[in-house]
Amino acid sequence: MRETELSAGRLVAPMFVSEAAASAPQGREAISTMPSVQRLSLTAVVEEARSLADLGVAAVMLFGVPGDKDAEGSGAWDDDGVVQLAVSALKAALPELVVITDVCLCEYTDHGHCGVLRADGAVDNDATLELLGQVAASHARAGADLVAPSDMMDGRVGTIRAELDADGHSDVGILAYSAKFASAFYGPFREAAGSTPAFGDRRSYQLDPANGREAVREAALDVEEGADMVMVKPALAYGDLIAAVKHRTGLPVAAYNVSGEYAMVKAAATAGYLDERQAVLEILTGLRRAGADIVISYHAADAARWLAT
């Protein structure tokens, strides 16, 4: 009579690909805010992805940590950039594995914002759109199956769809970070990716956690612009929106169980306050019950292992 099933095929594993990790021991750099997660070299990414694929995990989602940053984030659309090289390496080694790439500028800009800045320091929405289109096309040329814009600029799904089609990638899908809130729970990720804004915050482009109806409107706009899947992020405090977005859009919905949500469970488990395995499987099942078709989680490999035993 069980209503909700959780399986490895519903899980997506985020991975950090780092230029600097090439010179770290085993091609892996520890992340102080995210125990057991590492920034990986190209070789280590393939190694890690192979074990995820063996466990039946549905897909990997790649984040780039480049060696150099600049004001525009030009490393993001470099065809020889760290994500582009990782996508080609993964597609060559594991052609069946679904590869999703995060499309954003914040890991590549020296100021850490998700777009280019105007003279007054605010993010220039429309100037950023053009760059995001180039990033997505470059990921598609490398072989990405889906691109996932996480910048939250208005109109980016439409721009990216047009750019992908014009570049000959009409078969590459868009997983839109549609309902992405300005959240405290991204803290550990920003440490991992070196993408903490140098000044200000992301509240001019990410959603106010108090606004559910606005989140549903954002998702509906992304659908109109051509999104193939929509995302709600973070996950734990947003179950109502996973359900509402699913109902309103009719599209597959992804829930992103983000870095701070991962770190919270890890910290409590390490302190002996709760049982990690039980807590993680309960969280992932709950997100599936709320309506998530897939769950992006730093616990993906652990969960897949636990589900198999």
- Please list the active-site residues: 180, 233
Q: Which of 50, 141, 190, 289 binds ligand PBG (CB under 6 A)?
A: 190
Residues 6 or more apart whose Cβ sits within 8 Å of residue 184: 260
CB 299 within 8 A of CB 305: no
> Considering the complex, what minimum distance in angstroms separates the CB of residue 151 from ligand PBG?
6
> Considering the complex, what minimum distance in angstroms separates the CB of residue 69 from ligand PBG?
14
- Which among 88-96, 168-176, 182-190, 216-224 is the span making contact with ligand PBG, rule CB under 6 A? 182-190
| d(C-alpha 155, C-alpha 284), whole Å | 31
The residue (of 65 and 89) whose beta carbon lies closer to ligand PBG is: 65
Residue 189 sits in the site that holds ligand PBG (CB under 6 A):
yes
CB 13 within 8 A of CB 52: yes
Tokens standing for 68? 């150099």
Binding-site size, ligand PBG (CB under 6 A): 11
Give burial (CB, 10 Å; 0-12/13-18/19+) of 235: buried
135-154 positions binding ligand PBG, by CB under 6 A: 150
Q: Which of 52, 55, 57, 114 binds ligand PBG (CB under 6 A)?
A: 114
Q: Is the dihedral of CA 165, 231, 100, 76 positive or negative?
A: positive
Q: Give the number of other Cβ atoms within 10 Å of residue 93's Cβ.
A: 14
| d(C-alpha 83, C-alpha 106), whole Å | 14
Residue 181 sits in the site that holds ligand PBG (CB under 6 A):
no
Closest of 73, 26, 44 to residue 193, by C-alpha: 73
- Which among 43-51, 101-109, 123-131, 163-171 is the span making contact with ligand PBG, rule CB under 6 A? 101-109
Residue 186 sits in the site that holds ligand PBG (CB under 6 A):
yes
Residue 238 sits in the site that holds ligand PBG (CB under 6 A):
no
CB 21 within 8 A of CB 40: yes
195-234 positions binding ligand PBG, by CB under 6 A: 202
> Considering the complex, what minimum distance in angstroms separates the CB of residue 106 from ligand PBG?
5
Tokens standing for 161? 């769809």
Q: What is the contact surface with ligand PBG in residues (CB under 6 A)?
A: 102, 104, 106, 114, 150, 186, 189-190, 202, 258-259
